[in-house]
């Protein structure tokens, strides 16, 4: 049985991951509307990843006999002025997700809930990758995004990204 506070934090994370999928689906649409199909593809794949992350938390809670509590998912803020704005928003969002994962991990550590800590280990590593990937995307946009030909090439590169479902076994 999971500690009730820990279960509540895990439930909160389910909803945060689904919100993340909303954020990225919104950014996908932003770039799709502007015919930057590579950027659109990159964020569509992010949407799929976040949805699957949510489902991993759902399954973990269910495997521990906990009821999953779904909350309303608010609409993301999509008031972007430049192509860079959604990239920066994605990085900022990933930092918030990392902080949330760390909070859950700290609670599991305090409780000496090693099974939950082991489950969260994959997410800790994943969040490091998520932050690096979004930061790298910003840096590459900053280098190339103001030149139309370079932006075209970066967009074409991002179009090649494919989805690889997580291999975490719960």
Please give the domain boundaries of the chain with CATH numbers for all domains. Answer: 4-159 (1.20.1260.10)
**pLDDT tens per residue, range 103-129:** 999 999 999 999 999 999 999 999 999
Cβ neighbourhood burial of 133 (10 Å; 0-12, 13-18, 19+): middle
pLDDT band at 86 (very low <50, low <70, confident <90, very high): very high
CA distances from 6 to 9, 61, 64, 110 (A): 5, 10, 12, 10
- pTM higher than 0.75: yes
Reduced to 3 states, what is the DSSP secondary structure of residue 87?
Answer: helix
**pLDDT tens per residue, range 4-24:** 999 999 999 999 999 999 999
Q: What are phi and psi of 74, to 5 degrees?
A: -75, 155
pLDDT band at 166 (very low <50, low <70, confident <90, very high): confident
Cβ neighbourhood burial of 165 (10 Å; 0-12, 13-18, 19+): exposed
The CA distance from 13 to 65, in Å, is 17
| pLDDT of residue 169 exceeding 70 | no
**pLDDT tens per residue, range 25-44:** 999 999 999 999 999 999 99
pLDDT in the model for residue 77:
79
Q: What are phi and psi of 68, to 5 degrees?
A: -85, 130
The CA distance from 87 to 65, in Å, is 38
């Amino acid at each position: 049985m999971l500690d009730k506070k820990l279960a509540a934090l895990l439930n909160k994370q389910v909803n945060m991951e689904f919100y993340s999928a909303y954020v990225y689906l919104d950014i996908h649409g932003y770039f799709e509307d502007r015919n930057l199909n590579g950027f659109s593809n990159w964020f569509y794949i992010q949407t799929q990843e976040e949805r699957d992350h949510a489902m991993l938390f759902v399954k973990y809670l269910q495997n521990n006999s906990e009821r999953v509590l779904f909350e309303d998912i608010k609409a993301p803020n999509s008031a972007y002025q430049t192509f860079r704005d959604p990239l920066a928003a994605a990085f900022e969002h990933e930092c918030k997700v990392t902080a949330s994962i760390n909070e859950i991990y700290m609670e599991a550590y305090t409780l000496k809930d090693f099974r939950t800590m082991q489950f969260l280990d994959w997410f800790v590593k994943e969040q490091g990758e998520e932050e690096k990937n979004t930061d790298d995307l910003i840096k590459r946009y900053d280098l190339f995004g103001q030149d139309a030909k370079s932006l075209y090439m970066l967009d074409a590169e991002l179009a090649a990204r494919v989805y690889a479902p997580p291999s975490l076994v719960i």
